[in-house]
Amino acid sequence: MGTITDIFGSMVFDDRAMKASLPAGVYLSLKKTIDEGALLDPEVANSVADAMKDWAISKGATHFTHWFQPLTGITAEKHDSFISPAGDGGVLMEFSGKNLIKGEPDASSFPSGGLRATFEARGYTAWDPTSYAFIKGKTLCIPTAFCSYGGEALDKKTPLLRSMEALNRESVRILKLMGDDKVTYVQSSVGPEQEYFLVTREMYDQRPDLRFTGRTLFGAKPLKGQEIDDHYFGVTKPKVAAFMEDLNEELWKLGVLAKTEHNEVAPAQHELAPIYTTTNIATDHNQLTMEIMQKVAAKHGLVCLLHEKPFAGVNGSGKHNNWSVSTDYGVNLLSPGSTPDHNMKFLIFLCAVIKAVDDYQDLLRLSVATAGNDHRLGANEAPPAVISIFLGDELTAILESIEKNEPYAGTEKIQMKLGVDVLPKFVRDTTDRNRTSPFAFTGNKFEFRMLGSSNSIACANIMLNSAVADTLSGFSQELETAKDIEEALHDIIRKTVREHKRIIFNGNGYDDSWIREATEQRGLLNYRTTPDCMPHLLDEKNVAMLTRQNVFSEAELESRCEIMLENYNRIVVIEANTMAGMARAHILPAVESYCADLARSAEAKKEIAPSLRCAYETDLISRLSVLTDEIYERVGDLESAIRLVDDTPDVIEKAELIRDSLLGRMSELRIACDESEVLTAKSYWPFPTYSDLLYSVH
Ligand code: ADP
Ligand code: MG
């Protein structure tokens, strides 16, 4: 490989490539569109398309595709080649501004939650010039939004861009009210930390559950689990190191700022963190990262598991969404500064986040809800399903002293006059290292830790951006009618702390007593599962906020709610069917043949020595027979429950039925199977065990 600086972004039509290949006027016009969202001139589009094509061909590309993020959760692309008949039997390589700006993929196979049926059968993709085009394999990929002909969003990018626009608009508005004449735009940035597992292809191929559902549906606890904390930040095994090296190189070529990598808590678990960037690009990059991880793993004879809970009893995988908001002149509004003016902005944005998270706990919770993540939230390693904010003791104390208008009794006792005095210095609280808080302030950013490893980060950031934008808008309304801005800012901060401090919690989020306190005393929401939270997307206050901020229309919200629940239903039903199939076709016959061999062996022994009790064989056969009967009954029971679910047409009723009647039966079946695994000789067991899987990569 060349040096990192040579390869970095070499497959991206980035600012450097644009500058080098576009006429100066075209470059400036495109840059204005990218930075400030200015409308794009069709002439400019033609010129960009031309340069992009030449650049792509020079890098070996033969095809182009509009790359988009439908609601299935993965990315989609349909490849077209550049060739066009030249009339003399030869071909020309063609790519016009029209090809660049708009595409018409066959949208019928993507979920639309009834939107396309209601409006127009086809959908179209539209170029997002704010995210650079890139080359994957031999294909020029153009990041696009995906909409119905009526303009309804059918993807995750469109509402994300709208939410960024809302946050930009409302942030600039309040900053101007606070006397900032410099600001022209405000952007949110994200650095998502991605967790994943690696197993060998050989092991993976022998597990139908992993292949069909991405997680193990059976499996007794391994002999060595994560009790001994020797994996976290431990030495990386050679095969893993080779994978990581290759992965970094591939990501760097695509301009992904892959930065840190280390082992995680569980055996075979790892993490990759990029350097943060604009939310929109971070989202595209995270989708790309997940895709490239799987491709590179395959090249190394490995499989990268992105499921939230591939192994029961072992830590699951999440994604930490590090989020901040900054101005075009480079000031992070979530970073406490050293001037009174900056601090006032910091406190206002901090309060906006506190109020937004409290008011829209439900939206944040449901933005990360999937069948996979339900296994994680509330379990032992992930944040609980209850949302709270960690601020650290000192910042909390500072806010309380402002609320009560009392001197802050920190290291030195000071009476602060906001807008005049500088915030007392507070040290970044290190207790956030316990990682139990779902939403933690980490010095100059908030870390939303509830995302599942396979989640697109779009959904969480859509809700976060929108809720904060709407809260800022409320603050601005107060400022616009205030006689004294300074006084009004004070009031906003005091009122926010008073009314929303219930959401601030600096203790241990894994503690059972916290869940009781949160729900019983503080009245915080605790939606444990996807069917519990998803329908709240359509609660009046949520629809009102999201439509007010122009992020979603009501029809889009209805369709999304339906699609998310349909996804949930489909996933769990596939899991249930896979379980039933594995139990019937593999586990029962395996245990049976082991018992038969034990019986034959006991008989043979008795022939030799009739007085032998053969207690080993007899006891084992007895216990295993009890278990096979249990498995047999539970499979039948599960299959009847699946039929009932299949016969329930209403999507919400179906989801509730799955939650109440399927998941419990799946656990019951698993318990009997896992005990059988422990008692059955390894050579008879039809699948690689947890020990095989978790320690397969060296
Ligand atoms: P830690 O390891 O303490 O969680 P890091 O500094 O390693 O924190 O950052 C974790 C992630 O947060 C990285 O992706 C990093 O780029 C990102 N990050 C750092 N600063 C910011 C910021 N101001 N806004 C958004 N993301 C940030
Ligand atoms: Mg972190």
Question: Distance, CA 127 to ligand 1 centroid (Å)?
Answer: 29
**Which ligand has the minimum distance to the alpha carbon of residue 318?**
2
Question: Distance, CA 339 to ligand 2 centroid (Å)?
Answer: 28
**Which ligand has the minimum distance to the alpha carbon of residue 443?**
1
Question: Distance, CA 283 to ligand 1 centroid (Å)?
Answer: 15
- Tokens matching residue 237: 């095994």
Taking 80 as the threshold, does the pLDDT of residue 379 lie above it?
Answer: no
Taking 90 as the threshold, does the pLDDT of residue 35 lie above it?
Answer: no
Give the pLDDT band of residue 373 (cuts 50, 70, 90): very high
Q: Among 445, 449, 461, 468, which residue has the most ligand 1 atoms within 8 Å of its CB, making it the best to mutate? A: 445
Helices 340-359 and 157-177 pack at an angle, to 10 degrees, of: 140
The ligand 1 atom at the shortest distance from the C-alpha of residue 442 is: 3
Q: Is 285 in the pocket of ligand 1 (CB under 6 A)?
A: no
List, in order of start, the domains of the chain with CATH numbers. Answer: 4-155 (3.10.20.70), 156-185+350-413+437-552 (no CATH), 567-694 (1.20.120.1560)
Question: Distance, CA 449 to ligand 2 centroid (Å)?
Answer: 8
Question: Distance, CA 286 to ligand 1 centroid (Å)?
Answer: 15
Contact criterion met (CB below 8 Å) for 198 and 246: no
**Which ligand has the minimum distance to the alpha carbon of residue 273?**
1
In this predicted model, which residue has the larger pLDDT, 395 or 110? 395
Which residues line ion ligand 2, judged by CB < 5 Å?
320
Taking 90 as the threshold, does the pLDDT of residue 89 lie above it?
Answer: no
Over residues 468-522, the pLDDT tens digits come to: 999 999 999 999 999 999 999 999 999 999 999 999 999 888 888 999 999 999 9
pLDDT (average), residues 19-23: 94
C-alpha distances in angstroms, 10 versus 3, 6, 16, 66? 11, 7, 10, 20
CA distance 207 to 216: 8
CA distance 190 to 233: 24
Q: Is 276 in the pocket of ligand 1 (CB under 6 A)?
A: yes
The ligand 1 atom at the shortest distance from the C-alpha of residue 274 is: 14
233: left (phi over 0), alpha (psi -120 to 50) or beta: left
Taking 90 as the threshold, does the pLDDT of residue 337 lie above it?
Answer: no
pLDDT (average), residues 170-199: 96
pLDDT (average), residues 301-320: 95
pLDDT of residue 253: 96
Residue nearest atom 6 of ligand 1, based on CA coordinates: 275
**CA angle (335 as vertex; 365, 192 as ends), nearest 5:** 45
CA distance 540 to 118: 22
Q: Is 596 in the pocket of ligand 1 (CB under 6 A)?
A: no
pLDDT of residue 438: 94
In sequence order, what are the residues at sequence separation of 6 or more whose Cβ sits closer than 8 angstroms to the Cβ of residue 159? 153, 458, 462, 551, 552, 556
Question: Distance, CA 191 to ligand 1 centroid (Å)?
Answer: 6
Least confident of 9-18, 127-136, 417-426, 660-669: 417-426
- Altogether, the residues listed in the chain come to a count of 698
Identify the H or E element spanning 654.
helix 651-657
Q: Among 322, 434, 464, which residue has the most ligand 1 atoms within 8 Å of its CB, making it the best to mutate? A: 322
Give the pLDDT band of residue 119 (cuts 50, 70, 90): very low
Q: Is 532 in the pocket of ligand 1 (CB under 6 A)?
A: no
Closest CA to 357 of 387, 395, 396: 387
Over residues 572-630, the pLDDT tens digits come to: 999 999 999 999 999 999 999 999 999 999 999 999 999 999 999 999 999 999 999 99
DSSP conformational letter for 539 = S
